[in-house]
Amino acid sequence: MQGSMQDWDLRVTQLIDYAAREHGTREIVTRWADGSIERSNWAGVADEARKLSQAFNGFGLEKGDRIATFAMNHHRHLAAWYGAIGFGGVIHTVNIRLFDEDLIYIMNHAEDKVLMYDAAFQPVIERLKPHLKTVEHYIIFDDAESYGALIAAQDGHYEWATGDERDPCMLCYTSGTTGNPKGVLYQHRSTMLHAMAEIAPAIFDLSPQAALLPIVPMFHAASWGLPFAGAAAGVKFVFSATNEAPILHRLILDEGITHSAGVPTVWLSMFGHLDAESAAGRDASLGKLRLVTIGGSAAPRGMIERLMKSGVRVSHAWGMTETSPIGTMGAPTPNWDELTLDEQIDVVCKQGRVPFGVELRVIDKDGNVAPRDGVTSGALQIRGPWVIKRYFKADADTVDAEQWFDTGDVSVLHPDGTMQITDRVKDVIKSGGEWISSVELENIAVGCPGIAEAGAIGIPHPKWDERPVLIAVKKPGADIDEAAVKAYLAERIVKWWMPDRVLFVDELPHTGTGKIQKVALRQQFKDLVLEG
């Protein structure tokens, strides 16, 4: 026997329909890089999305085809998400911070048919174009002859594609681990469940009263799902196509921002700006801001303290592209009101608790499930309907038989379920919210004349959370110093990958199989202090 309720497949188009129907006049604001402000609303974005779907249909695209975007945060990018999904396609948000080789690999691997981008990225796109094998249509968001003309040519009479809730809707690549970047292919169902969970008070606490400024880019980890959850809640969205602190601060004050979300680095620059405003006798407040969600890297205590002392609640979140990305989220505990500010800050410094929908466990060094005792650390694993099962086009699942996904993070679980990240086993460095591949850095460094072997590790940094440091062994008799290695690297890597320090040792610690033992190396340099 089955229950006798209505059978609705969960489809992402229901989100944009809902937002347009019930919150149609709620504003969607874009602050473009040239300083101009453009105002639309949910009805306007839905109309653009429908026209884009109609256009993609007119291109002859088929269900499941990928539409790539290479763009900053703005309302047309939002319309593109829903427009790509609306005709049955898959929105593929490409991370603009990657190397050309990775971008080419990703877009060819995804077999993107359309590439939509901001005019500012024209030089990059020109470099990539000759190598992109599947892209048939290039559309420039901020160009009246391109995006503008495409929209104007549609009458908007188009019905969203229907289908199964397990159809794919979005593709995000993560370059977090070794080897080529890997694609995470979200479903309509996983995205909808995640969006519905996200609006809860203990997660993003979204409602039609919220004015949300997502600082997390739309090209990283699905912008933490906010473009979907925001529609489910009918929030006012404010997008900024650039992320300089003075601009974001202006928007917070002028647009009545209540909620914001981003990686820790953003807030450090904001504090610098606020101090300067205060010294100049200008408004250094955060206006109506009441909830800031920080994730992507550990939020430092001082940052949490400063925000909380200015009356803003801080939610500390942990997640991954592979987990849609919400894994855990900090929210006030049952005894919150009895805690001192210091105790509250202690709570927020940890990564929070798991929301309904996903499950967490820690596996200790002997392979057993660790008790939730706040001391036993081990491999953090997660499972649930918005957690990855298999990477895009991979031959095998990336989870065990019980669906547990190993995150590569090391953590402890406290008795009340609060999760605390204590280390990371995956060999990567996260600087300002973006990954630097230590393996790639090492491979390039060992090409430097005079270097026999090199290991790259992440060292805590006051501004960027982590910065790479290269630990190198010289070839016998080689006459080489830090400056020479840096000069060599400067011609081969992007600027933000440059190690803050290059240090020389006689030998590096190795595992039994001859690999550099990163945990031991990090331990060896744990007292190294990098300056901001």
Catalytic residue check, 322:
yes
| Active-site entry in 81, 224, 318, 435 | 435
Does 225 help bind ligand AMP (rule: CB under 6 A)?
A: no
| Active-site entry in 322, 434, 442, 466 | 322
Does 295 help bind ligand AMP (rule: CB under 6 A)?
A: yes
Handedness of CA 320, 326, 327, 328 (dihedral sign): positive
For residue 212 the two structure tokens come to: 């949300």
- Helix pair angle (42-58, 13-22), 10° resolution: 140
Q: Which stretch binds ligand AMP (CB under 6 A): 1-9, 67-75, 405-413, 466-474?
A: 405-413
| Active-site entry in 13, 30, 69, 174 | 174
CA atoms of 378 and 372, how far apart (whole Å): 11
Tokens 């470099």 sit at which residue?
Answer: 127
Q: Is 487 exposed, middle or buried (0-12, 13-18, 19+ CB in 10 A)?
A: exposed
Site for ligand AMP in 335-354 (CB under 6 A): 351
Tokens 């460095």 sit at which residue?
Answer: 429
CA atoms of 140 and 119, how far apart (whole Å): 6
Is residue 76 within 8 Å of residue 129, measured between CB atoms?
no
Handedness of CA 321, 296, 520, 175 (dihedral sign): positive
Q: Which stretch binds ligand AMP (CB under 6 A): 141-149, 290-298, 364-372, 484-492?
A: 290-298
Is residue 10 within 8 Å of residue 193, measured between CB atoms?
yes
Residue 38's H or E segment, with its range, is: strand 37-41
In the chain, how long is the greatest CA-to-CA distance? 80
The nearest distance, CB 347 to ligand AMP, in angstroms, is 14
Query: Closest CB to ligand AMP among 38 and 406?
Result: 406
Does 118 help bind ligand AMP (rule: CB under 6 A)?
A: no
For residue 306 the two structure tokens come to: 């400063």
Among residues 321, 377, 418, 437, the one that binds ligand AMP under rule CB under 6 A: 321
The nearest distance, CB 414 to ligand AMP, in angstroms, is 15
The nearest distance, CB 488 to ligand AMP, in angstroms, is 28
| Active-site entry in 113, 430, 466, 518 | 430
Site for ligand AMP in 416-435 (CB under 6 A): 421, 424, 430
Does 325 help bind ligand AMP (rule: CB under 6 A)?
A: yes
Among residues 85, 169, 206, 320, the one that binds ligand AMP under rule CB under 6 A: 320
Q: Which stretch binds ligand AMP (CB under 6 A): 55-63, 119-127, 201-209, 295-303?
A: 295-303
Query: Closest CB to ligand AMP among 240 and 297?
Result: 297
Query: Closest CB to ligand AMP among 314 and 489?
Result: 314
How many residues of this chain bind ligand AMP (CB under 6 A)? 21
Does 377 help bind ligand AMP (rule: CB under 6 A)?
A: no
In 188-332, DSSP assigns E strands to 211-214, 236-240, 259-262, 291-294, 313-319, 326-329
The pair phi, psi for residue 478, each rounded to 5°, is -70, 140
Say whether 314 sits in a helix, a strand or coil. strand
Query: Closest CB to ligand AMP among 83 and 296?
Result: 296
The angle at the Cα of 424, spanning 435 to 444, to the nearest 5 degrees, equals: 45
Binding mask 98-117 for ligand AMP (x = CB under 6 A): --------------------
CA atoms of 512 and 181, how far apart (whole Å): 27
The nearest distance, CB 319 to ligand AMP, in angstroms, is 6
CA atoms of 126 and 129, how far apart (whole Å): 5
The nearest distance, CB 402 to ligand AMP, in angstroms, is 20
The nearest distance, CB 516 to ligand AMP, in angstroms, is 19
CA atoms of 280 and 273, how far apart (whole Å): 11
Catalytic residue check, 434:
no
Site for ligand AMP in 443-462 (CB under 6 A): none
Say whether 463 sits in a helix, a strand or coil. coil
For residue 129 the two structure tokens come to: 């174009």
Position with the least CB separation from ligand AMP = 321
Query: Closest CB to ligand AMP among 77 and 316?
Result: 316
Does 297 help bind ligand AMP (rule: CB under 6 A)?
A: yes
- HSE, side-chain direction, 13 A CA sphere, residue 19: 33
Q: What is the DSSP string of 128-139?
A: HGGG-SS--EEE
Distance between first and last Cα of the chain: 64
Among residues 158, 186, 318, 392, the one that binds ligand AMP under rule CB under 6 A: 318
Binding mask 145-174 for ligand AMP (x = CB under 6 A): -----------------------------x
The nearest distance, CB 425 to ligand AMP, in angstroms, is 10
Which conformational region is residue 451 in: left (phi greater than 0), alpha (psi within -120 to 50 degrees), or beta? beta
The nearest distance, CB 3 to ligand AMP, in angstroms, is 37
Site for ligand AMP in 259-278 (CB under 6 A): none
Does 409 help bind ligand AMP (rule: CB under 6 A)?
A: yes
Residues at the interface with ligand AMP (CB under 6 A): 174, 176, 221, 295-298, 316-321, 325, 351, 407-409, 421, 424, 430
Catalytic positions, please?
174, 322, 430, 435
